[in-house]
């Protein structure tokens, strides 16, 4: 099946947060542009399109970020009780070097000027717009058999310095992006026993929060 044909429902079902399945090939520029085009078609409050994408492929930059993330991994592990640390140990948290391409997604809250339509009373809708663009990119990548892994084990100030973000530009995500030969069927954190999913029924409420007719779970 060609990338153009994968249905949105299948893309949503197949999408995984990829760490270990990168083939080592680097995504070609044409495919990368299709992913960025998909991201750029996301909705944004007041049509502000507050996102930017920094494409990182310099091996030295990838290596330095991977080293930083490795340090952050150690710090997180040390915060865990012993049983959780043991569960955490085999879980891979990034594929920065292996993917060959990082996309640093950033947010500019000043874009759109002083009166962004729809942002006056809920200012967070600005950054939410940038996050919506990430999900577009992620689903398009799934159709391309390209894996995306969102790395969040980092100090934002280190990332800011690494790719030269000016004041006012907020880093939102480092995405490892590269071809994969398959996607895992079961998300890593379930496979490794870190945390299993919550039933959808527990998340659905009718008319008022807590008025949940579909589940015996307390709210």
Using CB under 8 A as the binding rule, the residues of this chain from 107 to 146 that contact its own copies are: 112, 115, 117-122, 124-125, 127-128, 131-132, 134-136, 138-140, 142-143
- Binding to its own copies by residue 186, rule CB under 8 A? no
Q: Pick one of 21, 27, 46, 177: the residue that binds its own copies (CB under 8 A).
A: 46
Report d(CA 216, CA 66) in Å as an integer.
Answer: 43
Query: Tokens 């710090």 appear where?
Result: 75
- Binding to its own copies by residue 61, rule CB under 8 A? yes
The residues, ordered by sequence, that sit 6+ positions from 93 with a Cβ below 8 Å of its Cβ are 19, 69, 73, 151, 153
Report d(CA 110, CA 193) in Å as an integer.
Answer: 42
Q: Pick one of 28, 75, 89, 110: the residue that binds its own copies (CB under 8 A).
A: 75
Task: Record the tokens describing residue 88, joined without a space.
Answer: 């955490």
- Encoded one letter per residue, x for contact with its own copies by CB under 8 A and - for no contact, window 16-45 reads -x----------------x-xxx-xxxx-x
- Binding to its own copies by residue 183, rule CB under 8 A? no
Q: Pick one of 74, 82, 185, 208: the residue that binds its own copies (CB under 8 A).
A: 208
Q: Pick one of 27, 96, 172, 177: the residue that binds its own copies (CB under 8 A).
A: 172
In the complex, the smallest distance separating the C-beta of residue 98 from its own copies, rounded to whole angstroms, is 18
- Binding to its own copies by residue 101, rule CB under 8 A? no
- Binding to its own copies by residue 53, rule CB under 8 A? yes
**Torsions phi, psi for 106 (to 5 deg):** -125, 165
Q: String of b and e for 30-48 (b: at least 16 CB within 10 Å)? A: ebbebbbebbeebebbbeb
Q: Pick one of 57, 63, 67, 217: the residue that binds its own copies (CB under 8 A).
A: 57
Check: CB of residue 97 under 8 Å from CB of residue 62. yes
Choice between 149 and 179, CB closer to its own copies? 149
Q: String of b and e for 158-181 (b: at least 16 CB within 10 Å)? A: ebbebbebeeebbbbbbbbbbbbe
- Encoded one letter per residue, x for contact with its own copies by CB under 8 A and - for no contact, window 149-168 reads -x-xxxxx------xxxx--
Choice between 24 and 43, CB closer to its own copies? 43
By three-state DSSP, how is residue 29 classified?
A: helix
């Amino acid at each position: 099946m060609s990338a153009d044909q994968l249905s949105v429902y299948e893309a949503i079902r197949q999408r995984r947060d990829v760490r270990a399945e990168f083939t080592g090939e680097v995504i070609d520029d044409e495919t990368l542009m299709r992913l960025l085009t998909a991201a750029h078609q996301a909705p944004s409050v007041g049509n502000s399109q507050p996102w930017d994408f920094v494409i990182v492929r310099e091996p030295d930059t990838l290596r330095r970020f991977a080293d930083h993330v490795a340090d952050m991994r150690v710090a997180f592990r040390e915060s865990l009780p012993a049983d959780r640390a043991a569960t955490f140990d085999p879980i891979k948290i990034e594929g920065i070097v292996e993917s060959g391409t990082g996309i640093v997604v950033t947010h500019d809250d000043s874009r759109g000027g002083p009166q962004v339509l729809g942002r006056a009373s809920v200012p967070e809708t600005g950054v939410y717009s940038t996050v919506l663009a990430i999900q577009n990119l992620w689903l398009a990548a799934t159709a391309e058999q390209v894996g995306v892994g969102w790395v969040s084990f980092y100090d934002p100030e280190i990332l800011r310095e690494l790719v030269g973000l000016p004041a006012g530009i907020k880093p939102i995500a480092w995405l490892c992006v590269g071809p994969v030969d398959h996607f895992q069927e079961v998300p890593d954190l379930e496979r490794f026993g870190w945390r299993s999913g919550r039933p959808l029924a527990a998340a659905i409420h009718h008319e008022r929060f807590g008025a949940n007719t579909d589940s015996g779970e307390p709210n």
